[in-house]
């Protein structure tokens, strides 16, 4: 029996250049804020055309690893913002046909411990940001603004943990939560009042540094979303569109 081999993948030169630069950024040989050499110099070092370097830099820029500062033609090292990272994860989850139920179940597991951790780690500045998010939700005129401020409340509680992994873990779920919240807030008259009340109780627990109370009220808050979905007759098994 003859042995068959898979075809060798020939990677474009710009991808190799992007991978080489990206590796230096990830291993911190090139740190955030450092300038990259000019396109001409990079082309000389890699032994490729400037057009190849330019395409490599575009790929790195799309990944959030480099950016061009205003007034400069050179690129400098940057790092992807949380929202940009989360957007890619959200899109990937949507392409894997996740449902509203799966997102809600994930939030029930993730958000109460985040609230508990935030109660122990929060600063005065965190409390101010969380209180501001509460106020903006209470004053939101339209549904879209209300939904944005609900997500921002969760986001500020996550930031109060001072744990970047937790903040990054919750962000894709918050982005996927918003479509169902828009429907629920529109169709359930008491939704806004219940959300505002829960936010106040969670904020009070955070101010008191009461980790257990913060966990308990966050868990109640998330469970209340499920009740709202049922009242609004939202099918939680429907797949989410990014």
Residue ranges, CATH 1.10.10.10, the chain: 13-77
| Closest of 93, 111, 84 to residue 240, by C-alpha | 93
The predicted structure's pLDDT at residue 91: 80
The predicted structure's pLDDT at residue 92: 81
Q: Please provide the CATH number assigned to the domain covering 13-77.
A: 1.10.10.10
CATH topology of domain 82-231: 1.20.120
Splitting the chain (242 residues) into consecutive groups of 10 residues, what average pLDDT does each group show?
73 92 93 93 94 95 89 88 77 83 93 97 97 93 90 96 93 86 86 94 97 97 92 84 66
Residue ranges, CATH 1.20.120.530, the chain: 82-231
Stated as kind and residue range, the H or E segment containing 7 is none
Structure tokens at 16: 């190799």
For the chain, the first-to-last Cα distance in angstroms comes to 48
pTM above 0.85, yes or no: no
The predicted structure's pLDDT at residue 130: 97
Asked if 137 contacts 153 with a C-beta cutoff of 8 angstroms, the reply is yes
Asked if 64 contacts 81 with a C-beta cutoff of 8 angstroms, the reply is yes
């Amino acid at each position: 029996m003859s042995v068959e081999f898979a075809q060798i993948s020939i990677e474009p030169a710009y991808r190799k250049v992007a991978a080489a630069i990206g590796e230096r950024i990830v291993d911190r040989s090139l740190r955030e804020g450092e300038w990259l050499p000019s396109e001409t110099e990079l082309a000389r070092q890699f032994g490729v055309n400037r057009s190849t370097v330019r395409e490599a830099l575009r790929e790195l820029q799309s990944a959030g690893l480099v950016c061009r500062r205003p007034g400069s033609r050179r690129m400098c090292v940057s790092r992807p913002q949380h929202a940009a990272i989360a957007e890619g994860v959200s899109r990937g989850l949507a392409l894997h046909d996740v449902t509203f139920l799966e997102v809600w179940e994930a939030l029930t597991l993730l958000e109460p411990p985040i609230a508990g951790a935030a109660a122990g780690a929060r600063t005065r500045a965190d409390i101010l940001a969380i209180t501001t998010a509460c106020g903006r939700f209470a004053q939101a005129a339209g549904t879209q603004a209300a939904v944005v401020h609900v997500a921002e409340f969760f986001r500020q509680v996550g930031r109060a943990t001072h744990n970047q992994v937790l903040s990054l873990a919750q962000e894709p779920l918050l982005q996927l939560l918003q479509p169902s919240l828009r429907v629920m807030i529109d169709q359930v008259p008491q939704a806004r009042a219940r959300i505002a009340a829960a936010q106040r109780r969670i904020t009070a627990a955070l101010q008191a540094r009461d980790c257990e109370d913060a966990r308990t009220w966050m868990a109640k808050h998330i469970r209340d979303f499920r009740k709202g979905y049922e009242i609004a007759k939202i099918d939680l098994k429907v797949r989410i569109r990014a």
